[in-house]
Structure 1
């Protein structure tokens, strides 16, 4: 019966990965469709407000910002705010579409070598059933059941490893974004008190940095949310999935008024640190659930060893 243990673990793991990445691909294709629809909507807004439509693809957010409002932040009109918000979200949607297209290609590469684990798993179950019937032993049946359970629990433990790693990546990305925003905050304050051309140039650079880092954080949070969905789908535990997919949109909505009108980024910084706090809380929950799962694996192994020794 022991010879089935590694085979169960191997097939169970491939079955988990096959189900996980098949579902992930379906969701990625759905997100991609949504982002393309969003991109077209935002493009129409920017085109409507921009005088030179031909320059749309070449126009970075920071160039648009200084073209539209220069350094007279306090005089920004509502229409200008909406244009800048649309441009930020337009850039974010383009980057997200690029990310998703690459991810779908990578998922196809992951799925290809996994074969047909569902058929292999059913075949292995049939082999186990035949062996148990031929030996007609209650102990063998119990051991076989424990081996199957252990393989499933081990796959669930792997799921937690992946979710926790994704959450830690999200924390790291948020830390980089927070550091960038804190740096930008200092230059923004100096600019308000007449920092001059040097301050304006550095602030211009921080606009690009903040936009890039928030996108990186959004991508990491999207991956973390995917892993949390996998926890709910493939383990016996449940965890609340937050709305991480909208983090960048909400951030950029407040970013315009917070920094570019008021001249500071306190609210945007708080929003990012609040998200970091939420990720830390979720990671604590995941660690606790993984510990409970690993205790189940240990208990299962101990019971299996006891049955083998007493057989």
Structure 2
């Protein structure tokens, strides 16, 4: 009978821990989604305003004509186009974040519908009553030890699951970073040719093709790193430096409209700087993965110790 209670305690505790973990993640994701939607909506208004400014500048007016004659129109148009490009980049990234968070909320909502979670609170309360009755009637040293081992096993099992999930998220982040670095390397090569060897229109087009592709890969890396950071929050004694990527450090759109050595050099410099930042982040992720591997080994060793203690208690 005492072994039945012991097994039931492990089973119910694992379900409760998993339900609470999913619930905590869902609540956090819902908060993040609300904030992301607010940011997206604000950036959409800003983008609309910037686009309207360009349209107004392009319409005929006496003032625009005077500016055109004095050479100020081109300068103003360059400024407005750069502001539109910047606003569009920020809005597109915000929209991607909303889509990612909506998918995460939907996934967690489905997990919360797990049939095992439906009556877990009632099952746990009933079990505690059953356990209390048993302890009061048949309390013994062996019984107390088995319950202590059960508690430790649940705790270690939860830590192991969290470590495993964090390791998987870290490996996904590494793959995403590697893809982003590969594309940035190609863009850097094209940028070198365009900036210092006078690559011309074709090379500029190829360069921006690589930049656009790296944009998608960097977004995936950002998403993977956010997920990795979320998973790490559940793992004790594991620390990580900031794992953020700022794509605004990479791209400038003035080169697309006004091709000259200064804007070409700016793009090349930002690509190079971003590669360096991504390499630093990749090294940090790998360092944390090493910590997680050591944590996993420690927990597995602790489970083996508990197995030995349990056999000694039951068989003696």
Q: TM-score range by the shorter chain?
A: 0.7 to 0.9
CA contact (8 A) 1:150 1:301 kept: no
Q: Give the C-alpha shift of residue 257 in structure 1.
A: 5.7
CA contact (8 A) 2:6 2:146 kept: no
Q: Could you say if the C-alpha distance between residues 119 and 267 of structure 1 is closer, same or farther in structure 2, counting changes exceeding 3 Å?
A: same
1:98 and 2:99 matched: yes
The unaligned stretches of length 5 or more in structure 1 are 55-75, 232-236
Specify the alignment match of 1:179 in structure 2: 182
Q: Distance in 1 between matches of 2:32 and 2:241?
A: 16
* Partner of residue 285 from structure 1, selected from 288, 291, 297: 291
Q: Deviations over 1:262-308 (max 9, x none)?
A: 23111011111111111111111222222222222222222121111
Specify the alignment match of 1:238 in structure 2: 237
Q: Deviations over 1:233-264 (max 9, x none)?
A: xxxx33335544xx24xx22211369963231
* Partner of residue 299 from structure 1, selected from 279, 302, 305: 305
Q: Distance in 2 between matches of 1:53 and 1:130?
A: 77
Q: Distance in 2 between matches of 1:259 and 1:282?
A: 38
Q: Distance in 1 between matches of 2:7 and 2:54?
A: 61
The unaligned stretches of length 5 or more in structure 2 are 56-76, 256-262
1:276 and 2:276 matched: no
TM-score of the aligned structures, taking structure 2 as reference length: 0.80
1:107 and 2:108 matched: yes
Q: Distance in 2 between matches of 1:116 and 1:188?
A: 60
My pick for the range that moved more, 118-127 or 96-105, is: 118-127
Q: Deviations over 1:79-121 (max 9, x none)?
A: 6555433322211110110111121111111011122433323
1:29 and 2:30 matched: yes
SS in 1 for 2:281: helix
CA contact (8 A) 1:35 1:93 kept: yes
1:208 and 2:186 matched: no
Q: Distance in 2 between matches of 1:101 and 1:176?
A: 25
Q: Distance in 1 between matches of 2:118 and 2:217?
A: 38
Q: Distance in 2 between matches of 1:138 and 1:291?
A: 30
Larger radius of gyration: 2
Q: Distance in 2 between matches of 1:258 and 1:279?
A: 31
Q: Give the C-alpha shift of residue 152 in structure 1.
A: 2.5
CA contact (8 A) 2:240 2:288 kept: no
Specify the alignment match of 2:73 in structure 1: none
CA contact (8 A) 1:128 1:144 kept: no
Q: Distance in 2 between matches of 1:111 and 1:49?
A: 42
Q: Distance in 2 between matches of 1:214 and 1:279?
A: 15
